[in-house]
């Protein structure tokens, strides 16, 4: 009998969700009314997996909420509500939990998101399971499946070293940028980078039935190229733009956001083939149950 270690995170998700009726990638997208689609997402944060037991509690709360808001950013959606299911052992200090929720509140107030419910249960380690509710104009959610050969690949910021430099605990979710990218009309596919560029780009390639050629010198790095490709937990946005629109897109970024986003590669017509400086890149970043591969 196969175990989760045999199957791996991504194959397990594909098998268990094969009969889902919803549209979406980082979030589920459902019809809401004549003007908007409903956007739903959920993400766990577990002690010993996503943060060390001695992590400052405010940073635990910040990261728990920020991961969910990053999912909304990846769809170009507006987050509206959060719910949190908290799991903790009986000996857990209550003051620590209060500080965790202070961290959640700091972030949600920045984005005008309300905490509207949740639950509390006993368990062996501290866990936060955060659920998010938002909306996006009807039919406008940005998916992973829209990339086409020739499209330019972009990323919103530096990649790599997130655990070493603490960014994974303090990152600002790119909600503003994600909404602007959706409104711009230039973006063909998008997702956020949580498992590393080398893994997450493959999700776009698979969904869009395309390949990609990366330029190592163009990838913005915190540390080494290997860290940028494989570390994960960056929570930057990875997206594609039609080649004929790229120059206009770059200009509009500077006009509206007063910043530019680096071009890191090109979409190719070779399905799911990822190359780096002309060499096939086989290694992937972290995957739950399997580790690195």
Q: What local confidence, expressed as pLDDT, does residue 13 receive?
A: 62
> Both 159 and 257 in a single domain?
yes
- Same domain membership, residue 113 and residue 66: yes
Q: What is the pLDDT of residue 25?
A: 72
Greater model confidence, 129 or 9? 129
Q: Which domain holds residue 78?
A: 4-137
pLDDT of 286 higher than 80 = no
CB 245 within 8 A of CB 152: no
Q: Is the pTM of this model over 0.85?
A: yes
The answer to whether position 142 is within a domain reads no
Which residue in 107, 101, 68 sits closest to 86, CA to CA?
Answer: 101
Mean pLDDT of the chain: 93
83 occurs within a structural domain: yes
Note whether residue 30 is domain-resident: yes
Q: Quick check: is 147 in a domain? A: no
- Domain membership of residue 170 (yes or no) is yes
Choose between 290 and 197: higher pLDDT.
Answer: 197
Number of other residues whose CB lies within 10 A of the CB of residue 14:
12
Query: pLDDT confidence of 5, banded at 50, 70, 90?
Result: confident
SS (H, E, C) the chain: CCCHHHHCHHHHHHHHCCCCCCEECCCEEEECCCCEEEEEEEEEEEECCCECCCCCHHHHHHHHHHHHHHHHHHHCCEEEEEEEEEEECCCCCHHHHHHHHHHHHHHHHHCCCEEEEEEEEECCCCEEEEEEEEEEECCCCCCCCCCCCCCEEEECCCECCHHHHCHHHHCCCCHHHHHHHHHHCCEEEEEECCCCHHHHHHHHHHHHCCEEEECHHHCCECCCHHHHHHCCCCCCEEEEECHHHHHHHHHHHHHHHCCCCCEEEEEECCCCCEEECCEECCCCCEECCCEEC
**Are 190 and 249 spatial neighbours (Cβ–Cβ below 8 Å)?**
no
Q: Same structural domain for residues 164 and 276?
A: yes
* pLDDT tens string 117-171: 999 999 999 999 999 999 999 999 999 999 999 999 999 999 999 999 999 999 9
Mark which of 75, 105, 137 sits at the end of a domain: 137
CATH number for the domain including 247? Answer: 3.90.650.10
* 145 inside domain: no
Boundary (domain end) residue, out of 107, 137, 167 = 137
Q: Which of 81, 111, 137 is the last residue of a domain?
A: 137
- What per-residue confidence (pLDDT) applies to 282? 86
Separation in Å, CA 226 to CA 136, 159, 161, 288: 35, 10, 10, 19
Same domain, 62 and 14: yes
Q: Could you give the number of structural domains in the chain?
A: 2
Residue 190 lies in a domain: yes
């Amino acid at each position: 009998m196969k175990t989760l270690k045999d199957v791996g995170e991504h194959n397990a998700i594909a098998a268990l969700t094969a009969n889902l009726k919803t549209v979406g990638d980082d979030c589920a997208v459902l019809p809401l009314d004549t003007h908007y689609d409903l956007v739903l997402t959920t993400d766990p944060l577990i002690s010993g997996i996503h943060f060390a037991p001695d992590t400052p509690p405010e940073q635990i709360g910040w990261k728990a909420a920020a991961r969910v808001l990053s999912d909304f950013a990846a769809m170009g959606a507006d987050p509206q509500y959060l719910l949190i299911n908290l799991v903790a052992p009986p000996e857990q200090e209550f003051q620590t939990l209060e500080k965790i929720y202070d961290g959640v509140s700091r972030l949600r107030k920045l984005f005008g998101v309300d905490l509207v419910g949740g639950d509390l249960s006993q368990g062996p380690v501290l866990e936060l399971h955060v659920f998010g509710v938002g909306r996006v104009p009807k039919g406008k959610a940005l998916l992973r499946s829209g990339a086409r050969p020739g499209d330019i690949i972009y990323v919103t910021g530096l990649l790599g070293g997130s655990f070493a430099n603490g960014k994974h605990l303090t990152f600002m979710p790119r909600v503003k940028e994600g909404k602007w990218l959706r409104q711009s009309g230039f973006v063909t596919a998008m997702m956020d980078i949580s498992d590393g560029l080398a893994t997450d780009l493959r999700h776009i390639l698979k969904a869009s039935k395309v390949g990609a050629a990366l330029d190592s010198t163009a990838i913005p790095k915190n540390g080494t190229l290997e860290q940028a490709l494989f570390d994960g937990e960056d929570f930057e946005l990875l997206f594609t733009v039609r080649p004929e629109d790229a120059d206009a897109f770059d200009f509009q970024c500077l006009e509206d956001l007063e910043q530019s986003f680096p071009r890191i590669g090109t979409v190719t017509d070779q399905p799911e083939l990822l190359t780096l400086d002309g060499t096939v890149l086989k290694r992937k970043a972290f995957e739950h149950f399997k580790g690195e591969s």
